[in-house]
Amino acid sequence: MRALIAPKIQIQGLSKSYPGEKTPVLALQAVDISVSEGEFVSIVGPSGCGKSTLLYVVGGFLNADGQVLVDGKAVQGPGTDRGVVFQEYALFPWLTVRNNILYGLERGSLPPDERARIADRLIGVIGLRGFEDRYPRELSGGMKQRVAIARTLACDPAILLLDEPFGALDAQTREVMQDELLRIWLETRKTVLMITHDVSEAVYLSNRICVMSARPGQIVDEFKIDLDRSIPREVLFTSDAFNRIRNEVWISVRREALAAEKLNARV
């Protein structure tokens, strides 16, 4: 039975330092987070606090001291079990929308007609029918991020790692994308670890929010979010329950942001 309740992602005593000018800069210090299967966890904190570094370590792109376990096994490097969406989209500019989505599938073992079917379905899901043969430079920011999400979903990873996925989008597009992500998550119930600096976004989407301190990044606060996801955004955003928790998180993040400001002023 223990295996069943073991967390999907387990981050234990994670520390990471970068070589600095004189002394190494400590980016993360003894971070512990565990994420259960199907849980949506967001990490918020002031900019430069090491949130993204944490995600890159979980992704297997960076090494760090401490442990990251996925399904109880230590992360050795990048893997298709963890799909990643970057803030700057990271689409392959030399591939069309369709071929970007097909890219990961082509590295898998599915037969070609099955791959084409999956890609076609995802193009429909992200609403980019008619844009299949366009190149990324011909797309808007929102469209690019949709393709990036579809490309990641195509490989059907158990875990989604989202690094400020909507940070580069305008406010209106961001809301549309958040709704889409929420819909996809409710449908697929994937385990999600998201980095964001947008408190409302974190409250709107997550089951749990971890607040990270200014450098060195540590988890200083944790909030469980228990909101009804079936009610429309405008009702939820104006509800007392939503605003109460949003304000709590916001005050916590603000405290860390002010501390970060002081830290930067001293340097």
Partner 1 sequence: MRGSDRSAIFFTPAGRVLPLVAFVLVWQAASATKWLDPAFLPPPTAVATALFDLLRGSEIRDNLLVTLMRAAIGLVLGAAAGVWLGLMMARSVVFRAYVAPIVGGTYSLPKSALIPLFILWFGIGTVTTVCAVFLACLLPMIVNTFQGVASTPKVLVWGAEALGTSRRDMLLRIFLPHALPDIFTGLRIALGFSFVLAISSEMIASTNGIGKLIFMYGENGAYDYMFAAIACIVIVAFLADRFMLLVTRRYLRWHESAVAREAA
Q: According to the binding rule CB under 8 A, does residue 80 interact with partner 1? A: yes
In the block, tokens 């104006």 appear at 238
Q: According to the binding rule CB under 8 A, does residue 127 interact with partner 1? A: no
Q: According to the binding rule CB under 8 A, does residue 88 interact with partner 1? A: yes
Q: According to the binding rule CB under 8 A, does residue 217 interact with partner 1? A: no
Q: How far is the CB of 250 from partner 1 (least distance, A)?
A: 29
Q: How far is the CB of 67 from partner 1 (least distance, A)?
A: 20
Tokens of 93: 């500019």
In the block, tokens 């409250």 appear at 203
Which residue from 90, 116, 125, 182 is in contact with partner 1, where contact means CB under 8 A? 90
The DSSP bridge pattern shows strands 191-196 and 25-35 to be unpaired
Q: According to the binding rule CB under 8 A, does residue 61 interact with partner 1? A: yes
Q: Considering beta carbons, is residue 80 or 140 the nearer one to partner 1? A: 80
In the block, tokens 């890159």 appear at 56
- Our CA dihedral for 16, 18, 19, 23, rounded to 10 degrees, sits at -70
Pick the stretch among 18-26, 135-143, 168-176, 237-245 that binds partner 1 (CB under 8 A).
135-143
Total of chain residues touching partner 1, rule CB under 8 A: 29
Q: Which residues contact 136 (CB under 8 A, 6 or more apart)?
A: 89, 91, 92, 93, 95, 97, 100, 144, 147
Is the Cβ–Cβ distance between 227 and 207 less than 8 Å?
no
Q: According to the binding rule CB under 8 A, does residue 155 interact with partner 1? A: yes
Q: According to the binding rule CB under 8 A, does residue 131 interact with partner 1? A: no
Is the link from the previous residue into 112 a cis peptide, with omega within 30 of 0?
A: no
Q: How far is the CB of 101 from partner 1 (least distance, A)?
A: 10
Tokens of 41: 């966890």
Q: According to the binding rule CB under 8 A, does residue 77 interact with partner 1? A: yes
Q: How far is the CB of 155 from partner 1 (least distance, A)?
A: 6
Tokens of 75: 């992360």
Q: Considering beta carbons, is residue 129 or 137 the nearer one to partner 1? A: 137
Q: How far is the CB of 63 from partner 1 (least distance, A)?
A: 14
d(CA 229, CA 181): 12
Which residue from 33, 35, 45, 56 is in contact with partner 1, where contact means CB under 8 A? 56
Nearest to 137 by CA among 176, 105, 180, 94: 94
Q: According to the binding rule CB under 8 A, does residue 135 interact with partner 1? A: yes
Is the Cβ–Cβ distance between 42 and 196 less than 8 Å?
yes
Q: Considering beta carbons, is residue 151 or 215 the nearer one to partner 1? A: 151
Pick the stretch among 18-26, 76-84, 197-205, 233-241 that binds partner 1 (CB under 8 A).
76-84
Q: How far is CA 21 from CA 24, 170, 265, in A?
A: 7, 36, 18
List interacting residues with partner 1 (CB under 8 A).
56, 59-61, 77-80, 82-84, 86, 88, 90, 92-96, 103-104, 107-108, 135-137, 151-152, 155
